[in-house]
Structure 1
């Protein structure tokens, strides 16, 4: 299920109209309609507001293999916060991020325990796909690169 399908399914489960969800999430009704139809992908800020309005985990709404319900577990909360911040950073520097269920031939279609996702990053006519694990590794490499640049700047200021 893609993000638009998840939004629509949850909205209907909760007995909300698109107009009501728009009001709860502070997102326009037109945007809700476009997200649900797949005509537009919500940006991270919209995902945050939709997840909050629908009372679900942002990561789950984006398609990650995390619990659907909002978790109070500090570890999961930290992971979601880090992931959300990283995605916001990528969007801030004008990358388009998409999350889709991994439907490659080597995956069993209804194996929910092993359901994985592909993360697609696009900018300037260049598109790269990552598995979940590759995306986590990519995130870690970027984080370490930033830490190293800060370390170098700090050392040169001594």
Structure 2
């Protein structure tokens, strides 16, 4: 059953996340290319004012951008949360990791080999990247939040992890992109990107009586208790050092 308009839902989520019209357009740029759908600030302005309604293609684009279900954004009485399978989440993480590794290689090469004398070394370093077809190379680079938004902050980080649920609210909300550092000083009571069994989690880490506790900040989500010695796969990927800013 439809209980709201797409315009109402768009205004609601923009207010909840403190997003400006220009922020939504900026966040949608990758998906505009992926879906072949154009979105402008004028479009968003008309939707917010209620002078026009987004068509099905725009609904799909906005839902992907804002990481909500198309049904909810369309105004139906359904869950707002976007359901993401474990395989999709792992694939998302793998793509980000691959593109961020390319960024690190590029940064290293640009700093170390600034003149033509080292051109062969530079090309050798980027050999695998240059073997990709141009379209795939562009898609891979644009996929990474690091490459899209690295000009907006000066923090040192390696990859970006996206919050796919509200388990770390109020500190981190669904859709937030979090900076992850590999070179960190480990301390209990801080937030980490973690692999446990088949899951990729963002949790606050504690140690208690030969137990590792993976604690969400939202008490609606359960704490995961890992008994030592370890019997299942467990790995701390990196430390959460802050949120990616979505505007300069």
Q: TM-score range by the shorter chain?
A: 0.3 to 0.5
More strand by share: 2
TM-score, reference length from structure 2: 0.28
TM-score, reference length from structure 1: 0.43
More helix by share: 1
Higher relative contact order (CA 8 A, sep 6+): 1
Larger radius of gyration: 2
